Structures are given as structure tokens and as C-alpha cells.
Amino acid sequence: GAVVSQHPSWVICKSGTSVKIECRSLDFQATTMFWYRQFPKQSLMLMATSNEGSKATYEQGVEKDKFLINHASLTLSTLTVTSAHPEDSSFYICSGTGQGYEQYFGPGTRLTVT
């Protein structure tokens, strides 16, 4: 299957700082990328849908000014958590779709805000 990478795989930051997470499709062009968040022992919850060259669509309850998403190319989407707080600590997972119905998931980024 197609490969999606995420960087970094884990990050620890101080409260109030910003963190950028990159999601790259390595061997396919992802016209659409999705960002999910997963709290411990819970399922994945969709945060936003990102289409290349346009503004992201955020799910209800997700602050677009706090979670900045940029999908500048067909192989790269970034999620920036601005002014991070401990409650933002979570596992962030991106996925990309090319052709067909399968979504290809990145390995996830574990964010810990102290």
C-alpha cells in the first residue's frame, strides 16, 4: 500500500508554545488529507479535512485558529498546534487519499504538553 509519513513521531513542548506536525504522502499524490486526534484508550476523532490549495474544513468543536492546517502541495500537509496547553496532549494521526477508497494513515505523532 501507499506510504504516509509523519514528523516528528513524538514531541514534548512547554505550555504556550507552538508545534508543527508534518504529514507527507511518499509515493502517491494525496488530493485530500485528514487529521485525526486520539486520546488515550479512545477512538480516532476527525479534526479537519484538508484539500490541496484550499482552506481546511474543521469539524464542530475544533478551533481553526488553534489548529492551523496547511496543505500546500499534493504530498504535504501540516498541522500547527498554536499556544499548546496540556489538554492538547494527544496522538495526532493524518491520512491521505489518492485514487480509490482506501485511506493511508501516517504512524502518528504523540504530543505531550507540559
∠81-31-61 over CA atoms, to 5°?
35
Segment near other proteins (CB under 8 A); pick from 12-20, 41-49, 71-79, 80-88: 41-49
Residue closer to other proteins (CB basis): 8 or 16: 8
- Binding flag, residue 91, other proteins (CB under 8 A): yes
Of 88, 80, 78, 85, the residue nearest 110 (C-alpha): 88
Residue closer to other proteins (CB basis): 16 or 102: 102
What are phi and psi for residue 10, nearest 5 degrees? -150, 150
The residue count for binding other proteins (CB under 8 A) is 25
- Binding flag, residue 32, other proteins (CB under 8 A): yes
- Per the CB < 8 A criterion, the answer to whether 54 and 33 are in contact is no
Residue 11's identity, in one-letter code, is V
- Per the CB < 8 A criterion, the answer to whether 107 and 5 are in contact is yes
- Binding flag, residue 107, other proteins (CB under 8 A): yes
Residue 106's identity, in one-letter code, is G
- Binding flag, residue 74, other proteins (CB under 8 A): no
Which residues make up the interface to other proteins (CB under 8 A)? 1, 31-32, 34, 36, 42-46, 49, 91, 93, 95, 97, 100-108, 110
